[in-house]
Amino acid sequence: MLDSSPAMKRVFLETYGCQMNVADSETMAGVLEKAGLTLTDRPEEADAVVLNTCAIREHAEQRVLGRLGEFARLKQRNPRLVVGVAGCMAQHLRKRLLDSRSRVLDLVVGPDGYRRLPELLQRAAREPVAEIRLDRDETYGDLEPKREPGVRAWITAQRGCDKFCSFCVVPYTRGRERSLPLEDLIRQVEGAVASGYSEVVFLGQTVNSYHDRTHDFADLLRAADRVAGLKRIRFTSPHPSDMSDRVIAAIAECPRVCPQVHLPLQSASDRILESMRRPYSFAEFTEVVRRLRSAIPEVALSTDVIVGFPGEGEPEFQATASALREIRFDSAFLFKYSARPDTRAWKWEETVSEDEKGRRLAELIELQHGISGEIHDAWLGREVEALVEGPARRDPGQLFGRTAQFKAIVFADDGTPAGALKRLRVVGATPVTLFGEPIATRAPGARVTIR
Ligand code: SAM
Ligand code: SF4
C-alpha cells in the first residue's frame, strides 16, 4: 500500500521530445492517478515535479537542464518539493544528475521504471532515488494510460530499438526492442474508440519491425482496421529496411490506414549511410519509395535527414540535396548532427563545423520548403477528407483538421464537431497549410430524384 502522507498528493508532469515520450507520460499519468495522486498543471502547487525528458540531441538536453534551474528556485521556496527526471535523459545522465553538488534532483527514473513511479516519488521525498535499470520485458501493455484529450490516441506498439545506428542514443536510453502483444494493443484501440478518439497512431522506433512472436505489423494494422468506430490509423516511425511487402499491402488494403508514411533517410550518400550503420543503400531506399508509391498511389512521404555527420563533405551533402529533389518528400525533419555520449560516433572526430552544419541545414530547409509548397499547390481544386481537430490556433473562427495525408487544413467554422470527418475542397495552399471550403451537400429537405 502506498504511504498516503500529506507530503505527496499533486504531481506536475512535463513532457519533452517525441510522441513516444508523450505516450509514456500518459502511462505515468495513469499509474499516478491509479495510486490516488492527482496531476496538476501548476508546478508551484505541486508536491512533486517530474520532467519526462529527451536525449536525442544536445539541444533537447539543454532545454531540460534550463527547466531544472527553474525548479531549483522553486525548491528553494519549497524545500519539500520532490524533483524528478524521467525518460531518456535519466538513463543517460543519471550519474551527473544525482552527483551534482547543488543537488536539485531527488528522483531519476528510466523509461522502464514507470510502473513504480508513485512509490519511487514517496521514497524520493525522504532520500535520493535512482531507478534506471532497463528491463527487456517491460512493455506496460497491461497498464491503462490517462490520455490527453483530443481526436488522436497514441499507442506504443513497440519499445526500445535494436538497430544501433552509430549516431543514435535510443538503444542505450530505451533498451532493447520489444513488442506489445497484439491483443493488448487492440484492447487499447477499442478503449480509445470507446473514450471518443477517432484516430490511433501506433508508435515504435522501428514500428514496422513489430513482432509479438505470433503477429507482425501487417497483422496489427489489419486487426486495428477491423475495430468498429475507428476512423483512422497511422503509425510512426517505420524503418526503410523493415518495409516488407506484407506491411505495404496492409497499408494499401486497409481503408482506415492513412496513406502517409514517415520514412527516415538520414543521408543519401552510401558512404555516410554505411558509417551511420543504416542497413540500406540509397538505391535500396528509393526502391522502398517506389514500392510504396506504386502500391499506395496517393501516399504522402516524409523523412528525417541529418546534416554534418562526421565525414560528410560537400559531395555527400549534395547527394542528399539531390535526393530531396528526386524523391520529393511531402515534408522533412532536418537536423544538424549532434554527437551523443555512448554512441559509436561519439568518439569520432567531428569534421563539419557548426557554421557549416548551419549552412547545410538552411540550404535543405529552403529546398524542402519549395518542394512542399509545390506539392501543396498541386492539391488546389481537389477534394479531401479532413478529420476535424477543433478551432484553428491562429484564428478561432476557423476549424483545423488533417487530411488523410496528414496535411494541416483550415476552413471556416461551420460547427463541425471535433472528431468528425469533413469533405472539403482545397482552395488555398502554403508550404505548411492547406485552406479548404466545405463541399456543398444536399440541403435538408431537398428533393432527390431516384431513377
Ligand atoms: N527510429 C527512427 C529511425 O530510425 O529512422 C528515428 C527515431 S529518432 C528518435 C528521430 C530522428 O532524430 C532520427 O531519424 C534522426 O534523423 C534524428 N537523430 C537521431 N540522433 C541524432 C543525432 N545524434 N543528431 C542529430 N539528429 C539525430
Ligand atoms: Fe535510433 Fe537507428 Fe534505432 Fe532509429 S533505428 S531509434 S535512429 S538506433
* DSSP secondary structure of 350-404: P-S-HHHHHHHHHHHHHHHHHHHHHHHHTTTT-EEEEEEEEE-SS-TTEEEEEET
Nearest CA-CA partner of 277 in 116, 196, 165: 165
User: What 3-state class would DSSP assign to 204?
Assistant: coil
Torsions phi, psi of 120, nearest 5? -65, -40
Q: Which ligand is nearest to the CA of 204?
A: 1
Are 280 and 241 in contact, with CB atoms under 8 Å apart? yes
Omega of the bond leading into 237 within 30 degrees of 0 (cis):
yes
Q: What is the pLDDT of residue 445?
A: 47
Q: Residue 317, class by beta-carbon neighbours within 10 Å (0-12 exposed, 13-18 middle, 19+ buried)?
A: buried
Query: Ligand 1: which atom is nearest the Cα of residue 205?
Result: 1
Q: Which residue has the CA at smallest separation from atom 1 of ligand 2?
A: 168
| Pocket lined around ligand 2, Cβ cut-off 6 Å | 161, 163-165, 168, 170-171, 205-206, 239
Enter the C-alpha cell of residue 451. Answer: 431513377
Contacts of residue 183, Cβ cutoff 8 Å, sequence gap at least 6: none
Query: Ligand 2: which atom is nearest the Cα of residue 206?
Result: 5
Are 360 and 330 in contact, with CB atoms under 8 Å apart? no
Query: Rounded to an integer, what distance in angstroms lies between the CA atom of residue 314 and that of residue 195?
Result: 52
Query: Rounded to an integer, what distance in angstroms lies between the CA atom of residue 170 and that of residue 343?
Result: 9
Query: Rounded to an integer, what distance in angstroms lies between the CA atom of residue 359 and that of residue 136?
Result: 41
Query: Rounded to an integer, what distance in angstroms lies between the CA atom of residue 183 and that of residue 35?
Result: 25
Enter the C-alpha cell of residue 323. Answer: 535526393
Are 276 and 266 in contact, with CB atoms under 8 Å apart? yes
Looking at this protein, which amino acid is placed at residue 19?
Q
CA dist 130 → 8, 26, 281 (Å): 18, 21, 41
Tell me which of 92, 168, 208, 263 to substitute to probe ligand 2's pocket, judged by most ligand atoms within 8 Å of the beta carbon: 168
Query: Ligand 1: which atom is nearest the Cα of residue 240?
Result: 5
DSSP state of 435: E
For residue 264, report the distance from its CA to the centre of ligand 2, in Å: 10
pTM to 2 decimal places = 0.94
CA dist 62 → 10, 353, 382 (Å): 26, 20, 44
Q: What is the pLDDT of residue 99?
A: 66
Query: Ligand 1: which atom is nearest the Cα of residue 340?
Result: 23
Are 439 and 411 in contact, with CB atoms under 8 Å apart? no
Are 267 and 295 in contact, with CB atoms under 8 Å apart? no
Query: Ligand 2: which atom is nearest the Cα of residue 277?
Result: 2
Q: What is the pLDDT of residue 104?
A: 84
Contacts of residue 409, Cβ cutoff 8 Å, sequence gap at least 6: 384, 386, 400, 401, 402, 403, 424, 426, 433, 434, 435, 436
User: Between vectors from CA 151 to CA 149 and to CA 153, what angle results, nearest 5°?
Assistant: 75
Residue in the structure block whose three cell numbers are 516524409: 302
DSSP state of 101: S
DSSP state of 211: B
Query: Rounded to an integer, what distance in angstroms lies between the CA atom of residue 138 and that of residue 179?
Result: 10
For residue 164, report the distance from its CA to the centre of ligand 2, in Å: 6
Residue in the structure block whose three cell numbers are 497549410: 433
Are 305 and 335 in contact, with CB atoms under 8 Å apart? yes
Longest dimension (CA), the chain: 83
Enter the C-alpha cell of residue 142. Answer: 497491461
Tell me the pLDDT of the chain (451 aa) as tens digits. 455 445 689 999 999 999 999 999 999 999 999 999 999 999 999 999 999 999 999 999 899 989 999 999 999 999 999 999 999 998 766 776 666 555 788 999 999 999 999 999 999 999 889 999 999 999 999 999 999 999 999 999 999 999 999 999 999 999 999 999 999 999 999 999 999 999 999 999 999 999 999 999 999 999 999 999 999 999 999 999 999 999 999 999 999 999 999 999 999 999 999 999 999 999 999 999 999 999 999 999 999 999 999 999 999 999 999 999 999 999 999 999 999 999 999 999 999 999 999 999 999 999 999 999 999 999 999 999 999 999 999 898 999 999 999 999 999 999 999 999 999 999 999 999 999 999 976 455 444 444 3
Enter the C-alpha cell of residue 13. Answer: 508532469
Are 334 and 368 in contact, with CB atoms under 8 Å apart? yes
Express the helix, strand and coil content of the chain in percent, nearest 5 each: 35, 20, 40
Residue in the structure block whose three cell numbers are 429537405: 445
Query: Rounded to an integer, what distance in angstroms lies between the CA atom of residue 224 and that of residue 177?
Result: 21
Q: What is the pLDDT of residue 103?
A: 72
Q: Which residue has the CA at smallest separation from atom 7 of ligand 1?
A: 205
Q: Which ligand is nearest to the CA of 167?
A: 1
Q: Which residue has the CA at smallest separation from atom 4 of ligand 2?
A: 205
Element holding 61 (H helix, E strand): helix 58-77
| Pocket lined around ligand 1, Cβ cut-off 6 Å | 18, 56-57, 167-168, 170, 205-206, 237, 239, 264, 266, 304, 306, 335, 337-338, 340
